[in-house]
């Protein structure tokens, strides 16, 4: 895949209209920014939304400004626009989704991984790289860091989309790609097995079908079988496999360490008791009283658990 001239910024909000005036440090990842950097024609790479990473202490500022400019809240729905509501939503939801006035969905992340144990947002933003596109600049992840992250993210979803497989090829063909740097980055984050299995998947899918699984180790075969199952079975097949995931970030136990798995298993029972934005919607409280959600939340969980479901009328 030869590199041609830079293409215009994909359809969506321009950083110089919202992010730059507020002086919010940020970076774009996956989706349109990946396509703009690594594809000859970004339009051939399907993107459902725009993924944006911002520091937790700036996310409410961005949300407030966006809602004032006629952006719509999609998740959580009916997000109240007062500052107390926005601050609480940011603290309790790792990802919030809004839509631009033109209907472009933007996922606002305050951390890259579900558990927040693998990546530090501040360090990622500090190491970001500029991507000039026409009259704007997109801030993106370094190539090696992005490649490791998409191996983690796409494996979590069992490589269930064909364009994710093309991402592997597109990034590797870019002049910035260095496999040694990728493995060094993966080692730093304890993600070497995830990257190795993803590379095996990439090479296996480049072979004629009868030879797909030849030469793969056990992890590579597991990943290949999951990929083929989800490509053929669609979203329902992916959801079925998710029930077997050991943690929210890892689809397979071989991807991470025993200590990570044990720490998650210890935390798992209390996760449903952690307050969410639905608790704020149920009973909006000012900041000085929001500690009460740690009492209200368990009560609501117990009531829901022991309330029989009503049959559909």
Please state the rounded mean pLDDT for residues 175-185.
97
Express each pLDDT in 125-157 by its tens digit. 999 999 998 888 899 999 999 999 999 999 999
- In this predicted model, which residue has the larger pLDDT, 5 or 165? 165
pLDDT value at residue 216 = 85
**Interval 260-275: pLDDT, tens:** 999 999 999 999 999 9
CA distance 198 to 87: 38
**CATH 3.30.460 domain span(s) along the chain:** 17-141
Tell me the C-alpha to C-alpha distance, in Å, between residue 253 and each of 117, 211, 257, 275, 310: 16, 26, 8, 28, 38
pLDDT at residue 211 tops 70:
no
Count of Cβ atoms closer than 10 Å to residue 108 Cβ: 22
CATH for 17-141? 3.30.460
**Burial (Cβ within 10 Å: 0-12, 13-18, ≥19) of residue 53:** buried
What's the pTM value of the predicted model, to 2 decimals?
0.90
Q: Residue 7's pLDDT band (boundaries 50, 70, 90)?
A: very low
User: What is the residue-averaged pLDDT of the chain?
Assistant: 89
Q: 148 versus 21: which is more confidently predicted?
A: 148
Q: What is the number of other CB atoms lying within 10 angstroms of the CB of residue 274?
A: 13
Q: What is the pLDDT of residue 311?
A: 57
Closest CA to 143 of 177, 188, 179, 119: 177
Per the CB < 8 A criterion, the answer to whether 248 and 114 are in contact is yes
């Amino acid at each position: 895949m030869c590199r041609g001239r830079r293409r215009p910024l994909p359809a969506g909000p321009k950083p110089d209209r919202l992010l730059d005036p507020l002086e919010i440090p940020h970076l774009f990842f996956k989706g349109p920014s990946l396509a703009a950097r690594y594809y000859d024609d970004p339009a051939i790479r399907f993107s459902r939304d725009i993924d944006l990473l911002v520091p937790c202490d700036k996310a409410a500022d961005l949300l407030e400004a966006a809602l004032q400019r006629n952006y719509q809240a999609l998740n959580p729905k009916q997000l109240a626009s007062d500052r107390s509501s926005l601050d609480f939503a940011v603290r309790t939801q790792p990802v919030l989704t809004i839509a631009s006035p033109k209907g472009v969905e933007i996922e606002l992340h305050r951390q890259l991984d579900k558990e927040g144990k693998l990546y530090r947002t501040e360090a990622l933003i500090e190491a970001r790289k500029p991507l000039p596109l026409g009259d704007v600049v997109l801030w993106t992840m370094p190539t090696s860091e992005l490649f490791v992250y998409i191996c983690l993210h796409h494996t979590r979803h069992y490589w269930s989309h064909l364009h994710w497989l093309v991402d592997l090829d597109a990034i590797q063909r870019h002049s910035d790609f260095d496999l040694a740097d990728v493995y060094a980055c993966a080692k730093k984050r304890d993600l070497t097995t995830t990257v190795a299995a993803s590379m095996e998947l990439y090479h296996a899918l480049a072979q004629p079908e009868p030879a797909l699984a030849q030469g793969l180790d056990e992890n590579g075969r597991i990943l290949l079988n999951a990929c083929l199952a989800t490509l053929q079975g669609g979203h329902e097949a992916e959801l079925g496999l998710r029930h077997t995931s050991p943690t929210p970030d890892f689809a397979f136990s071989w991807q991470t360490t025993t200590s990570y798995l044990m720490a998650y298993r210890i935390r798992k029972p209390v996760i449903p008791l952690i307050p969410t934005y639905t608790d704020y919607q149920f009973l909006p409280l000012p900041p000085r009283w929001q500690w009460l959600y740690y009492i209200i939340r368990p009560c609501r969980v117990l009531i829901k658990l022991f309330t029989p479901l009503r049959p559909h009328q």
